[in-house]
Amino acid sequence: MKFLVCGGYGFIGSEFIRNHFEYNPNDEIINIDNLSLGSNKLNLETIENNPNYLFKEGNITDIEFVKNLSKDVDAIINFAAETHVDRSIANPKPFLDTNIYGTYSLLEASKKFEKLFIHVSTDEIYGDLEKNAKPFLEIDNLKPSNPYAATKASADLLVQSYARTYKTNCIITRCTNNFGPFQFPEKLIPKTIIRAHKNLKIPLYGDGNQLRSWIFVTDHVQAIDLIAKKGISGEIYNISSWNEISNRDIVEKILQKMEKSVDLIEHVDDRPGHDKRYSINYEKIKNELGWSPQFNFESALEKTVEWYLNNSKLWEPLVNEQTLHPQPWTLNWK
């Protein structure tokens, strides 16, 4: 197969490319990336000379650029997105541009050339879940709580409209929180590891009891690979793993693995509209496509901590005051 991967220098997109070539060395991949915040060329240095890999710098909002690269591929996979909630609170505009208009651009290319379009979404579009409520199903209503989640929800609805109105071959995936090597430093797990490594305080929003499900990034991209081969057009697939864990428990686990004191934890003001719990049911992809997570959470977290401690040359250039700021939304949100 030949894929057009959008956002291939980001955390999840680059993992998809590396993992896909490992198991499908004869496939071809074109990577579109605009090299903005969150992109890192070092993420793909191990495959940059692969003759079946091609990088094209550009923005998915550029419809003609996208169409020209979509003609000869079998599938378009959209990892490209503005994803950081705090930044969306500070400035929603880039999130509207990339997450909504960018998705429209890719849908137009998919429609014109009749290509499979896999839209990588998020569990955050379902919004807050009560403590004792059952995990969200694919058919549940969308209740986004912040500008990031709202733009992703808007994109999902746009994809569904193309599937129904134009019969475009579209599939939506909604995944829970990812972690693993190569993740951008501003996210919770790498930020915790890096700040602990530097003996800096670890900022924790509010009481730190916000509940999240976590999945190792390799499990996520292998699910997407399976969906590209066996997924049903027009369907939505939740992708998740393990039991829910509070943000505070995650931070404490990391500190324990690094043999650092919990005294490094510093509670900071909660962010506006902060969801207390995310949880999604992944029985559909398990029952219909035979996918289930393969990585043990504790060992995957240990592997992640070790990677950051042993690969500072890959993440140190990305670290600055803004990426590690305890509360990025306070930089410019009022």
Q: Catalytic residues, which ones?
A: 123-124, 148
Taking the C-alpha atoms of residue 293 and residue 300, their distance in angstroms, rounded to an integer, is 12
Taking the C-alpha atoms of residue 55 and residue 29, their distance in angstroms, rounded to an integer, is 8
**Length of the chain counted residue by residue:** 334
3-state DSSP call for residue 108?
Answer: helix
Structure tokens at 160: 């569904």
225: Cα within 13 Å, side-chain hemisphere = 22
* DSSP secondary structure letters along 176-195: -EEE-TT--TTSHHHHHHHH
Q: Token match 């250039």: residue?
A: 317
Please provide residue 15's backbone torsions phi and psi, each rounded to the nearest 5 degrees: -65, -40
Q: Which of 248, 242, 247 is nearest to 279 (CA)?
A: 242
Taking the C-alpha atoms of residue 177 and residue 185, their distance in angstroms, rounded to an integer, is 15
3-state DSSP call for residue 292?
Answer: coil
φ/ψ region of 269 (left if φ > 0, alpha if ψ in -120 to 50, else beta) reads beta
Q: Token match 């950051």: residue?
A: 308
